[in-house]
Structure 1
Amino acid sequence: MLLKLFFYTAVLLIAILGYRSFAHAPHGLAIGEDAPDFTLNDAAGKSHSLSDYRGRYLVLYFYPKDDTPGCTKEACHFRDDLSQLEKLGAKVIGVSVDSSESHGKFAEKYKLPFTLLADTDGKVADSYHALSDFFVVKIAKRHTFLIDADGKIKKTYTNVNVSNHSQQIIDDLKTIQNMQ
């Protein structure tokens, strides 16, 4: 009986803290706003910064965890659609709080030809309002940001369907470029 009471109290506490975190979460980045700068390492330890991608579109996608079903599906769709994205002048970069070593294994296993960056402390994900922080556990939210050649947020995706997300970005890039 005491164990049940402890369990339900713990669940209630987690629910309350989770709700408070959700309710007080920032609303996100606005279209036209400067994308937050970052400098993170890839699987080989090479440093990448937002400024490295000036002059072209950047698909900066945050994902929860290497080698999990949804994240794998999303990454493989980006892999399969990469040539179309590059023809539209876009580079793809994935970011999670996993380590560079984890990213290396993930990229090798699924032959991912784009960069995965390690945001192990979650600071970059947090600057993009793409971090779930549960005190001892930090996980990147599945959010994507389309950043233009000038480093401005062109489009945000916070409700991502991994099955068609890369195609959605391709369609949006075509629309954006046709409007220019």
Structure 2
Amino acid sequence: MALKVGDKLPNFKAKDTNGNLFDSQDYTGKQALVIYFYPKDETKVCTAQACSFRDNYEEFKDLGAEIIGISADSVQSHIKFKSKFNLPFILLSDNDKKLRKLFGVENDFLIIPGRQTFVVDKNGFIIMVFNSMSGTIHIEKALKVLKK
């Protein structure tokens, strides 16, 4: 079942690019989160989306939010992607697709992993869910809801 606006962020853990175990509970009650699922590192639209989040990162931080990108790529792939494009935010590996299932992110066009963004308020409640294969519009939508 897909997560929707008003739902509490489920607790989850995954490996980040530093080899550390990211735990969502470390953020709940402390800051907002922008969690975006994307299909694959190094692809055209995914790279444009990641770079757009990078270019707006300080604005997200000023609004009290941390950005978390999630795909099924390996930690090693994320390390290269993060380094190549100087991405300042957290990337998590979901190679077993448990996080996609937990959030209810379905494939687009039957085979392409979905591109979906969740904005979670400081208290751990989902305040926005946005699904579009267009990458950069996710940044605009997330900033707009955080500014409210």
Normalised to the residue count of structure 2, the TM-score between the two structures is 0.91
**Pair member with larger Rg:** 1
Moved more, 115-124 or 162-171: 162-171
1:4 match: none
Corresponding residue SS for 1:132: coil
| Cα distance in 1, alignment partners of residues 42 and 11 from structure 2 | 27
CA deviations 1:39-81 (Å, max 9, x no partner) are 0001121110111212211000000000000100000000000
Match of 1:91 in 2: 66
Count the aligned residue pairs.
145
Identity of aligned residues (%): 39
User: What secondary structure is seen at the aligned counterpart in 1 of 2:80?
Assistant: helix
8 Å contact from structure 1 (residues 50, 151) kept in 2: no
Partner of 2:56, secondary structure, is helix
Distance 2:142 2:133 in 1: 11
- Determine which structure has the larger helix proportion and give its number: 1
Equivalences for 1:1-180 in 2 at 5 Å? 26=1, 28-54=2-28, 55-132=30-107, 140-175=113-148
Distance in 1 between residues matched to 2:98 and 2:39, nearest whole Å: 14
Query: Greater RCO between the two (CA within 8 Å, min separation 6)?
Result: 2
- The 4+ residue runs of structure 1 with deviation greater than 4 A are none
Q: Which amino acid letter does the alignment assign opposite residue 130 of structure 2?
A: Y
- 5+ residue gaps, structure 2, are none
